[in-house]
Each structure stands twice: as structure tokens, then as C-alpha cells.
Amino acid sequence: MEFTFYKYQGTGNDFVIIDNRETFFPKEDIALVAKICDRRFGVGADGLLLLENHATADFKMVYFNSDGNLSTMCGNGGRCIVHFAKFLGIISDNTTFEAVDGMHEATINNNWVSLKMNDVEKINASENHTFLNTGSPHHIEIVSDLENFDVFNNGRSIRNKIYGKEGANVNFVEKLDTAKFSVRTYERGVEDETLSCGTGVTAVAIAMFEAGKTSENTITLKTPGGKLQVRFKKKGSHYKNVYLEGPAIQVFKGIWK
């Protein structure tokens, strides 16, 4: 089966993106998706995205983790597919598209994409961690010396011991400044640390505001792959107008054989 694919990265969270408007891609083939995402036997990526037609919105986003399974919302993938939609000429600078967690609005200015995320209502805060869902489920823990922290082993253990088969993504955080936090994430479905996680940094920004670690509502998140920005408005106990913003870059185009 031969098809064209595009390789993208958003702060080092990397994706294979395929134009599936003609619905040729075999979505049920978990092994094929996993092979495309394999860094030795395939293209190599944290996930695979399909851009598909939508009856009312500009397009539909379908997201698979690198293990080949369909998953929940991917914030960095969402930003990258907006860039891809513009590259294909489907949109200009504004768009509305549907992902697994509902409709999203986004704007693009050169390689900078601002993606509106879903409102957040439920936040579970306990003594040493916070859990919330920003389209994908996220566990958040503050640690010290994040640079030397063992994200892989601690993340894997929390993901499996606390969240079981369904799992969750695990974010470790260190405060750098009034409105700046450093974040490293262990992602379920990749089962490894990734260089950045969009829904993860969104969850971290809200969790830090909720915990009183910042009083700013525009927050910079430093990940190993680069900087992202999250802004929101808190109304009562709800977080609304949540935007994830940062770069989305097309890296190369290839043909899968």
C-alpha cells in the first residue's frame, strides 16, 4: 500500500499526518499505525493523525498514539493538523474542526498556532498530585530538580499503579518564575517520555493556577522540546476560553511503501 505522508513536530512532539479525505487509510490496522510510528522500522513518531472530511466543520482530526491505538485529544497534534489544513488549502487563518473531544477553533499565523481547548470543570486535587482532563487525562505532580528527575520510571509506575489499564499521562512540574513552569511528561500510548505534550501543559497551567502556585492566567510552559503558552479565564469554578499556543512545523514529506 503506497501513500504520501507528512512529518510534523510541535515543540518536539512529533507526528505523521496523512490526508485521508478519500478515506483510503485502514484505520483498524493497529499494526500498520504502530509500524509507521516505529523509530527503527517506520517513519518514527509519537502519534499519527488523519485529516478527514467533515459535514459542517472544516475537517475532522483522527488521532492514534504510537502504539497504534486510537486515543483521546492531542493538543500538539491538533496544532500541527491546523498547519497541515492550511498547507492543503482547506483553511486560511481561522478554522473550526472536530476532534474526538468535540469542536475546536484555531488560528494560524505563519508557524504559530493558537488552539482553543475544551472548558475544564472537574479538578481533583489531593495532597501530592492533581488530576484533570483537558481532552486527555492528566496526573500532575510538583517535583524538585526536574532536569535530573527519572520521568520514565516514575511516570510509568504512576500511570500503571494508580490508573491501571486505561492509564493517564503523567506530568512532572517545577516552578521557574511567577508565570513560568518547567514540565516533563510521560505519555500513555507512547509509554515513554515525549519532548512535549499539549494537553499536558494545558492541564499543568490550570492545575498550578488552581493550587495557587500562580495568579497569572497566561502561563509559559517550558518543555524539553520548546516553549508553549496557555491562557484561560476562570469563571466560578470553571476554566473557560482555554487556549494552547505554540509552533507547529512541517518537517518533511515522504511516500510509505
Ligand X SMILES: N[C@@H](CCC[C@H](N)C(=O)O)C(=O)O
Q: How far is the CB of 197 from ligand X (least distance, A)?
A: 4
| Sign of the alpha-carbon torsion through 183, 189, 195, 199 | negative
Q: State the nearest-atom distance from the C-beta of 219 to ligand X, in Å.
A: 16
**Catalytic site positions:** 74, 197
Minimum separation from the CB atom of position 2 to ligand X (A): 28
**Is 187 assigned to a binding site?**
yes
Burial of 255 (0-12, 13-18, 19+ CB in 10 A): exposed
The nearer residue to ligand X, 95 or 136, going by C-beta atoms, is 136
Is 202 within any annotated ligand binding site? Answer: no
The DSSP bridge partners found for residue 59 are 97
Q: Which is nearer to ligand X, 20 or 76 (CB)?
A: 76
Q: Say whether 217 counts as a known binding-site residue.
A: no
CB of 137 to ligand X, least distance (A): 6
The nearest distance, CB 16 to ligand X, in angstroms, is 13
Tell me if residue 155 falls in helix, strand or coil: helix
Nearer to ligand X, 63 or 209 (CB): 63
| Residue 188 counted as an annotated binding residue | yes
Please give the single-letter amino acid code of residue 55.
A
Residue 32 vs 78, nearer CB to ligand X: 78
C-alpha cell at 67: 502504539
Hey, which residues does 81 pair with through a beta bridge?
A: none
Give the cell for residue 78: 491538533
Residue 151: phi and psi, rounded to 5, are -65, -40
Burial 77-93 (b: 16+ CB within 10 A, else e): bbbbbbbbbbbeebbee
Helix (H) or strand (E) holding 75: helix 75-88
Q: Smaller CB distance to ligand X: residue 1 or 183? A: 183
Report the interface residues with ligand X, using CB under 6 A: 13, 65, 71-72, 74-77, 136, 169, 187-190, 194, 197-200
The Cα–Cα gap between 24 and 86 comes to: 21
160 marked as binding residue: no
Q: Do the annotations mark residue 199 as ligand-binding?
A: yes
Q: Residue positions in the annotated binding site for substrate?
A: 13, 65, 75-76, 169, 187-188, 198-199
